[in-house]
């Protein structure tokens, strides 16, 4: 296992792919691996790209990757896919469209399935970002399908988050879920040659302006137009990303945000590990199922029962 970590640090793509698989499968050695990886992290810049299906996120990711590569930056891409069998086809199409940059040996692309466990996915995504970071990638791009609370969680992994919209999808700021305005550092209206692009653009501008007036934040999210398939607006987008990066660095926010991310990640990890231990050690041997039987039969209630269990773990002084 130590060999595998050492190989990743020395730049073995094969070792990196194996480590990611171990972490993704929640292998029992994952904590140990990540403990060995952690000291080598903190150098990569993490870019989040999120938006509804059909907005052209994958093409945009591809173009951004190509521009970063031209600037001699190394790039890792994590594409988070929903696991629904019905969207599988469409997503495969997306993956194929990304082949331009994936033909480049310096670009490592990893797709991840959700498997229905989003808490777990957010944690795994954060771990995979760290593995790519330790490997030596200058940039890690996390692309999430759809805009929802789950994606908001995953987006928190990123230093800069781009929210992508496209005209004609019924995809307006108003239809977006709560929390999206909070994570967007940059908005992109992609497929800007389509009908309704200007309306969508001005709608977003109004919302962003309102939000900015209310919150008086130091950074006002710019709203950009792109036609990713024609590579239009993509250079300006990378410039805007760089401006946001500079802003984060110079304002001290990069450090502050990363501290908060570390706090959240550590807390989530702690909760997961404690829960796992509770189930194994406190409620093992069918004891939990017996309790549930009593609760279902209304012989016990969940609230008092939980308090009793908690008191066995944390006795009152």
22 or 107: CB nearest a second copy: 22
Report in angstroms how near the CB of residue 225 gets to a second copy at its nearest: 20
Residues 156-215 interacting with a second copy (rule: CB under 8 A):
168-171, 173-179, 181, 207, 210-211, 214
Residues of 197-215 as b/e, b for ≥16 C-beta within 10 angstroms?
beebbebbbebbeebeeee
1 or 270: CB nearest a second copy: 270
Are the C-beta atoms of residues 152 and 177 closer than 8 Å to each other?
yes
CA–CA gap between residue 41 and residue 36 (Å, rounded): 10
Check binding of 84 to a second copy (CB under 8 A). Answer: yes
Which of 99, 266, 284, 290: binder of a second copy (CB under 8 A)?
266
94 or 171: CB nearest a second copy: 171
Which of 12, 66, 83, 205: binder of a second copy (CB under 8 A)?
83
103 or 170: CB nearest a second copy: 170
> Rounded to the nearest 10 degrees, how much is the dihedral formed by the CA atoms of 218, 71, 62, 30?
-80
- Residue 49 Rama label (left phi>0; alpha psi -120 to 50; beta): beta
Secondary structure (H, E, C), 124-161: HHHHHHHHHHHHCCCEEEEEEEECCHHHHHHHCCCCEE
Check binding of 216 to a second copy (CB under 8 A). Answer: no
Report in angstroms how near the CB of residue 65 gets to a second copy at its nearest: 26
Residues of 15-39 as b/e, b for ≥16 C-beta within 10 angstroms?
bbeebbebbbeeeeebeebbebbee
Write out the two tokens for 140: 């890690």
Alpha helices in 171-196 (DSSP H): 180-183
CA–CA gap between residue 293 and residue 299 (Å, rounded): 9
Residues 15-54 interacting with a second copy (rule: CB under 8 A):
31-32, 34-35, 38-39, 42, 52-54
CA–CA gap between residue 19 and residue 21 (Å, rounded): 5
1 or 296: CB nearest a second copy: 296
Report in angstroms how near the CB of residue 228 gets to a second copy at its nearest: 19
12 or 87: CB nearest a second copy: 87
- Number of residues lying near a second copy (CB under 8 A): 75
Which of 1, 13, 17, 270: binder of a second copy (CB under 8 A)?
270
Residues 115-144 interacting with a second copy (rule: CB under 8 A):
116, 118
Report in angstroms how near the CB of residue 213 gets to a second copy at its nearest: 12
Check binding of 6 to a second copy (CB under 8 A). Answer: no
């Amino acid at each position: 296992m130590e060999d595998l970590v050492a190989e990743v640090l020395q730049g073995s793509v094969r070792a990196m792919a194996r480590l990611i698989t171990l972490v993704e499968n929640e292998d029992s050695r994952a904590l140990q691996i990540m403990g060995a990886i952690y000291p080598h992290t903190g150098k990569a810049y993490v870019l989040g790209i999120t938006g509804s299906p059909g907005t052209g996120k994958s093409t945009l990711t591809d173009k951004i990757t190509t521009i970063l590569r031209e600037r001699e930056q190394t790039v890792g891409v994590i594409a988070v896919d929903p696991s629904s069998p019905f969207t599988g086809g469409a997503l495969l199409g997306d993956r194929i469209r990304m082949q331009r940059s994936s033909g480049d040996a310096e670009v490592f692309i990893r797709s991840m399935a959700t498997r229905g466990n989003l808490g777990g996915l957010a944690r795994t995504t954060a771990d995979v970002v760290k593995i790519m970071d330790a490997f030596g990638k200058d940039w890690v791009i996390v692309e999430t399908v759809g805009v929802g609370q789950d994606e908001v969680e995953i987006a928190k992994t990123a230093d800069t988050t781009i929210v992508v919209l496209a005209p004609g999808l019924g995809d307006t700021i108003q239809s977006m879920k709560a929390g999206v305005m909070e994570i967007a550092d940059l908005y992109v209206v992609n497929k800007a040659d389509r009908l309704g692009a200007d309306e969508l653009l001005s709608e977003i501008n109004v919302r962003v302006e309102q939000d900015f007036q209310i919150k008086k934040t130091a950074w006002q999210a710019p709203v950009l137009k792109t036609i990713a398939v024609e590579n239009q607006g993509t250079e300006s987008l990378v410039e805007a990303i760089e401006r946001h990066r500079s802003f984060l660095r110079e304002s001290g926010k990069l450090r502050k945000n990363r501290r908060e991310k570390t706090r959240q990640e550590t807390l989530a990890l702690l909760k997961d590990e404690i829960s796992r231990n509770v189930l194994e050690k406190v409620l093992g041997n069918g004891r939990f199922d017996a309790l549930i039987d009593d609760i279902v039969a209304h012989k016990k209630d969940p609230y008092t029962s939980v308090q009793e269990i908690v008191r066995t773990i944390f006795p009152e002084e």
